[in-house]
């Protein structure tokens, strides 16, 4: 019989947040076990509710959004995005420069498919949000990882970026605020990245989906507001800030040097048309969502849920012998470091499996974020403090006598 294999294009494409460790967790759940899933940044299962105003609005809009929209999206939605970009200091974005998508995810894949030829390189952070590496690879390109330095608050290492630029480098991905580290980059650092991009004719891919989830009174700077010389694609959406990840609504806006990117823009227009349009009822929420305050605004203030959970997890992680973490400044992730010598860890995926099987807690190992050394993992700190507390107590018990053994 003929066998059907996955396409060769998918070789080396991986998305471990929903990978083998999660498959094992799902198997355990099917067998009646209870698993605490701390692997996906999905607010709804942890009791975060979408604003009533948006739910009512979407219900009311269902009959007027039955048809396809313009492939780039509803005019009213794109108009609101242009205004949002202006408020963030991003100049020169017109309605035609905005594409709505079924989440930022769809647009990340599209932006790479439209640009890359075999052998083209894109600089991607390590650790990264793995969809970026997967999308570069799927599009035939090579993701070249630049290091973010834990010793320097997980900021991108500018010297490492410099070393990794080659004549084949077409762009650089900047995830700010960052998933999985929770870092927030200062303007001065972003200016250094802009300088390198300008000097080397690189496109900047700015993933800013967490820009409204910034704590401690800090201000987020959009990297696209710092240059008009290179092409910038700024990605954003409502999954996190308005707690509607399931509605699938995101966008990308183009700014800067569009003149020299006409061919690429033609490619993006073609790809956008090929998927007809993104979810129209969800698009119809964009203007309202961007005119109200983010649902998470209060949650990131002292006393708010996300803020207090961040405070809790940061302390709990650093209280466990052999584990430490930099304090996250934004989003809802922490990326702890493990003392690999103490625990004899050689394989971080196996470590995640060991914790899952023994303590029934699911998280993603650092390798899932293209972090090469097996000494990190990511915790999504969306659950209530009582749940996080139980998880961390179990983790402490687990690590008290853990020494990794090979299977």
Ligand X SMILES: Cc1ncc(COP(=O)(O)O)c(C=O)c1O
Interface ranges with ligand X (CB under 6 A): 41, 103-105, 129, 175, 179, 207, 209, 237, 239, 245, 250
Q: Which residues contact 153 (CB under 8 A, 6 or more apart)?
A: 183, 326
- Residue 264's alpha-carbon distances to 172, 226, 254, 346, in angstroms, are 16, 22, 11, 43
Q: Is 229 exposed, middle or buried (0-12, 13-18, 19+ CB in 10 A)?
A: middle
- Minimal CB distance residue for ligand X: 103
Rounded distance, CA 93 to CA 342, Å?
Answer: 52
Phi, psi of 370 (to 5 degrees): 60, 30
| Nearest to ligand X of 133, 239 (CB atom) | 239
Task: Between 213 and 325, name the residue whose CB sits nearer to ligand X.
Answer: 213
Burial group, residue 219, by CB count within 10 angstroms (0-12, 13-18, 19+): exposed
Q: Hey, what are 50's tokens?
A: 């979408």
Output the smallest distance, CB 234 to ligand X, in A. Answer: 12
DSSP 3-state of 168? coil
Nearer Cβ to ligand X (175/183): 175
Question: Closest separation between CB of residue 3 and ligand X, Å?
Answer: 33
Least distance from ligand X to the Cβ atom of residue 357, Å: 26
Nearest distance from C-beta of residue 248 to ligand X, angstroms:
7
DSSP one-letter string for 312-373? HHHHHHHHSTTEE-PPP-BTTEE--EE-HHHHT-S-HHHHHHHHHHHH-EE-EEGGGGT--S
Q: Which residues contact 270 (CB under 8 A, 6 or more apart)?
A: 114
Distance between CA atoms of 304 and 296, rounded to whole angstroms? 9
* CB 392 to ligand X: min, Å: 22
Q: Nearer to ligand X by C-beta: 25 or 110?
A: 110
Instruction: Count how many residues are written for the chain.
Output: 407
The 8-class DSSP code of residue 250 comes to E
**239 by DSSP, 3-state: which?**
coil
Least distance CB 396 / ligand X (angstroms):
27
**CB-wise, 175 or 194, nearer to ligand X?**
175
* Residue (98 or 399) nearer to ligand X, CB: 98
Q: Of 105 and 142, which has the nearer Cβ to ligand X?
A: 105
Smallest gap from Cβ 331 to ligand X, in A, equals 7
Helix (H, G, I), strand (E, B) or coil at 233: strand
Q: How far is the CB of 263 from ligand X (least distance, A)?
A: 26
Q: How far is the CB of 249 from ligand X (least distance, A)?
A: 7
Nearer to ligand X (CB atom), residue 141 or residue 237 = 237
Q: Which is nearer to ligand X, 208 or 343 (CB)?
A: 208
Compute and round to an integer the Cα radius of gyration of the chain: 21
Work out the angle at residue 222's Cα, subtended by the Cα atoms of residues 221 and 223, and round it to the nearest 5 degrees: 110
């Amino acid at each position: 019989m003929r066998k059907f294999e996955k396409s060769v294009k998918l070789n080396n494409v991986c998305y471990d947040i929903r990978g083998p460790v999660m498959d094992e967790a799902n198997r355990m759940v099917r067998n009646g076990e209870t698993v605490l899933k701390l692997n996906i940044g999905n607010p709804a299962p942890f009791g975060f509710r979408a604003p009533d105003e948006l739910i009512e609005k979407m219900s009311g809009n269902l009959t007027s959004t039955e048809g396809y929209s313009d492939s780039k999206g509803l005019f009213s939605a794109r108009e609101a995005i242009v205004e949002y970009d202006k408020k963030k200091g991003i100049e020169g974005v017109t309605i035609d420069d905005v594409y709505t998508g079924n989440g930022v995810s769809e647009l990340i894949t599209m932006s790479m498919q439209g640009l890359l030829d075999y052998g083209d390189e894109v600089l991607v952070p390590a650790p990264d949000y793995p969809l970026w590496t997967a999308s570069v690879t799927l599009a035939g390109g090579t993701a070249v990882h630049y290091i973010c330095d834990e010793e320097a608050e997980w900021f991108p290492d500018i010297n490492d970026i410099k070393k990794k630029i080659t004549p084949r480098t077409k762009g650089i991905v900047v995830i700010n605020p960052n998933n999985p580290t929770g870092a927030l980059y200062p303007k001065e650092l972003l200016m250094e990245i802009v300088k390198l991009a300008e000097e080397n004719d690189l496109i900047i891919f700015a993933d800013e989906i967490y820009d409204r989830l910034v704590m401690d009174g800090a201000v987020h700077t959009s990297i696209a507001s710092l240059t008009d010389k290179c092409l910038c694609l700024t990605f954003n959406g409502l999954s996190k800030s308005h707690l509607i990840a399931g509605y699938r609504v995101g966008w990308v806006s183009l700014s800067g040097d569009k003149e020299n990117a006409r061919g690429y823009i033609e490619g993006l227009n073609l790809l956008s048309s090929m998927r007809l349009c993104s979810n129209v009822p969800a698009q119809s929420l964009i203007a309202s969502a961007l005119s109200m305050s983010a649902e998470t605004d209060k949650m990131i203030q002292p006393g708010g849920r996300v803020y207090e959970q961040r405070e809790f997890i940061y302390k709990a992680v650093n209280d466990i012998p052999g584990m430490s973490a930099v304090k996250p400044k934004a989003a809802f992730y922490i990326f702890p470091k493990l003392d690999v010598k103490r625990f004899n860890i050689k394989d971080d995926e196996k470590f995640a499996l060991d914790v899952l099987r023994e303590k029934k807690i699911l998280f993603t190992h650092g390798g899932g974020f293209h972090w090469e050394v097996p000494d990190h993992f990511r915790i999504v700190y969306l659950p209530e403090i009582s749940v996080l507390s139980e998880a961390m107590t179990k983790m402490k018990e687990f690590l008290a006598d853990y020494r990794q053994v090979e299977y």
